[in-house]
Each structure stands twice: as C-alpha cells, then as structure tokens.
Copies of this chain bind each other. A is one copy, B any other.
Amino acid sequence: MYKIAFDVMGADNGSEVAVQSASEFLKSRKELYLVLVGDKKEIEESLRKFPIDENRFEIFETSEFIDMNGSIMDIRRKKDSSMVRALEMLKDKKVDAMITGGNSAAFIAGSHFILGELNGITRPGFMPTLPTAVDNKLTLLLDVGANLEADIEDIIGYAKMANIYSKNVLKVENPSVAQLNIGEEKSKGTLLQKEIYKELEADKNINFYGNLEARDILAGKVDIIVTDGYTGNMCLKAFEGASKILMTEIKAQLYKTIFTKLKALTLKKSFDNVSKKFDYKNHSGAILLGVDGIAFKAHGSSDVKSFKATLRMTCEAIENDVLNKIKKEIK
C-alpha cells in the first residue's frame, strides 16, 4: 500500500474532474491509497457522483487554494492552501508522492521551499514523457520550463536523473541521451553547449547520442533529450502550434466540399489513429525532477484522461522506487 496526496483544487476544470479521475483510477491500482486535498464540501459533492471505497481514500480539508492567476508569493501567503498542504504531507513522509494540477510557478516555488532540492541539484527540471513517431517509443525531455536557464551542472544532472528514470520506470535497458542543439555536429551551439557535449561524451554512465536538432525531438531517435527550460518550453509550444494548425487546415480542406466530406467521414478512423498516437493525454503530467520527493504536475487544463495518466505515472515512479535510486546515483 502506498499513498499519494492529490491536490484536487486549482486546475482549470474544477475539482470534480480530479475526483472523478481518482474514483476511476483507484479501480485499476489496488495498492494505491489517495489523500484528496482541498475543499471538503466540493470533494464530498463530487464523491456522490463518483464514489470511492472508504478504505481507499481520505479527505484532507484545506481552507484555500492557489488559482491559475496566483503567483509564487501565494506559497508563502496561503499556508492552508491545498498545494502547500500536499507538499507538506510529502515533506513529512505522510505520503509517497504528490500531484497538483495547479499554478506551475507556485508549484515550483513551493517544491523549492518545502521539499528542497536533492544533493547537487540547484535547478530542478520539468520532465514530460513524449510519444514519438516510433511505435511504443517514448522520449523524456527536460527541462521544459521549471527554470529559464541552466548551467553545465544542471544539464548533467538532468541527464543523470532522467537516465535512472528511463531505466527504472520506462524499463529502457541502455537509454540514449542527446543534447538539444541547433546542429548535430560536435562544434555546434554555444560555448556552454560545447562544454556539455564534452562532459556527456566523457561520462561512462551515460550512453551519449550526441546533439539532436529540434526537428527530431518527436522522431523517436533517442530516449532522453536534455536542454535548458527556455528552449524546451519553446520547442514544446512550437510542436503544439504546428500540430494544431496542420490538423485544422487538413480538416478544413477535407470538409470544403460535400463530396469530400462524405469521404472524410469514412477516413475519420485514420485520423483518430494519428491523434491517438501523438495524444499527450496518454502521458500527461511532468515530474519535477531534482526535488526531494516525487512531485508531479498535471496539466492545468487536464481532463479525466489526463489526470488518470498523471496518476498512473506517479504510481509507476513510486513502484519503481525512482527517487531513492536517483538519490543513490547523484549523491
């Protein structure tokens, strides 16, 4: 039996979606016990629609929460917020992990103040798991925006931590690690990137692939891609924008005439398969790697499917004891 503190407040779609996700997900994970953190009335109301066996959960009542428009200052101001309480439970080892769909900036600040960083880590990184063009191949990308900047130690730390994660959680035998760069050659990029290249190449515990260009992030060429949070964030958003615009245009073209509309409908399954393959919701949620605790951020606009994916990923991190393995490696 293990426990997760689930901050059900503060995400875009309200607490009911979070409670529904908890209710549905618990059925698939017998060893999981959830602490639902937030407004008691709201949670109880949602539980009437989406009941949970009383032996599988408890409610931790809080009087406030940090909303999407909140700031990092709220971590200090809102002592009884669901996010702060969930982080404190993790800090006090009352739970094995925590999840929030709330304000990212507050979550990063709160993790810093309450959990603290692991030995040798100064800038933790958000690490999403990305679907790729290769069937069943997932790629870990970090940092995607927990920090805007990163120095050599940060990037090497990302590589080491993601390496343990990939081996233990994704069960990749010898994960390949690439540095995101504007060109593949060793000589490419900033001075910092050239230094990082040398260090990763020399590290015997890292299976270094070399530099990887942004066009290949989703190509499934490597298991892990390390970069600074500014660049990682830009690339993720560029992908998001390109996909959205392309899919919209393709659909607009297909539906332009009734003639092709009929045909397009019969082709719907094909499109659905593509969407499914690249659906980030199946792997939604990013672990904040480098803090002293298993802390996951669910997407702010999470629906039930997304929240359940985050719950699953959090369980897998606990089940594979990834935090202790990381601590052992980077100490």
Binding site for B on A (CB under 8 A): 133, 145, 148-149, 180, 182, 189-190, 213-219, 230-231, 233-235, 237-250, 253-254, 256, 260, 263-264, 266-267, 270-271, 273-274, 277-278
Given contacts A148-B182, A230-B190, A270-B254, contact A243 B241 (CB under 8 A): no
Is A133 touching B245 in the complex (CB atoms < 8 A)? yes
Task: Tell me, rounded to whole Å, the shortest Cβ–Cβ distance linking A269 to chain B.
Answer: 8
Task: Tell me, rounded to whole Å, the shortest Cβ–Cβ distance linking A137 to chain B.
Answer: 13
Is A234 touching B263 in the complex (CB atoms < 8 A)? no
A241 to B130 CA separation, bound complex (whole angstroms): 14
Given contacts A182-B145, A263-B263, A270-B260, contact A218 B190 (CB under 8 A): no
Is A230 touching B267 in the complex (CB atoms < 8 A)? no
Which of A145, A215, A242, A244 has most chain B Cβ within 10 Å?
Answer: A242
Is B230 touching A218 in the complex (CB atoms < 8 A)? no
- Chain B residues whose C-beta falls within 8 Å of the C-beta of A219 in the assembled complex: 241, 245
Given contacts A182-B233, A231-B234, A263-B263, contact A240 B256 (CB under 8 A): no
The 3 closest A-B pairs by CB, nearest first: A215-B241, A238-B238, A242-B242
Picked from B190, B213, B256, the residue with its CB within 8 Å of the CB of A237 is: B213
Is A214 touching B237 in the complex (CB atoms < 8 A)? yes
Picked from B214, B256, B271, the residue with its CB within 8 Å of the CB of A238 is: B214
- Chain B residues whose C-beta falls within 8 Å of the C-beta of A242 in the assembled complex: 218, 238-239, 242-243, 246
Given contacts A148-B182, A215-B241, contact A246 B260 (CB under 8 A): no
Can you list 12 A-B pairs, Cβ within 8 angstroms, ordered by A? A149-B190, A180-B234, A182-B234, A215-B237, A215-B238, A219-B245, A234-B238, A235-B235, A238-B238, A238-B242, A246-B274, A260-B270
Is A248 touching B133 in the complex (CB atoms < 8 A)? yes
A246 to B274 CA separation, bound complex (whole angstroms): 8
Is B215 touching A240 in the complex (CB atoms < 8 A)? yes
Picked from B189, B231, B247, B273, the residue with its CB within 8 Å of the CB of A231 is: B231
A125 to B249 CA separation, bound complex (whole angstroms): 30
Is A250 touching B274 in the complex (CB atoms < 8 A)? yes
- Chain B residues whose C-beta falls within 8 Å of the C-beta of A237 in the assembled complex: 182, 213-215
Picked from B230, B267, B273, the residue with its CB within 8 Å of the CB of A263 is: B267
A267 to B260 CA separation, bound complex (whole angstroms): 7
Task: Tell me, rounded to whole Å, the shortest Cβ–Cβ distance linking A329 to chain B.
Answer: 29
Is A253 touching B274 in the complex (CB atoms < 8 A)? yes
- Chain B residues whose C-beta falls within 8 Å of the C-beta of A234 in the assembled complex: 180, 182, 214, 231, 234-235, 238
Is A190 touching B148 in the complex (CB atoms < 8 A)? yes
A149 to B274 CA separation, bound complex (whole angstroms): 37
Question: What residue of chain B has the Cβ atom nearest to residue A241's Cβ?
Answer: B215
Task: Tell me, rounded to whole Å, the shortest Cβ–Cβ distance linking A107 to chain B.
Answer: 15
Name 14 extra pairs, CB < 8 A, besides A217-B238, A249-B277, A250-B274.
Answer: A133-B245, A148-B182, A148-B189, A182-B234, A213-B241, A218-B241, A218-B242, A238-B242, A239-B241, A246-B247, A246-B274, A246-B278, A250-B250, A263-B266
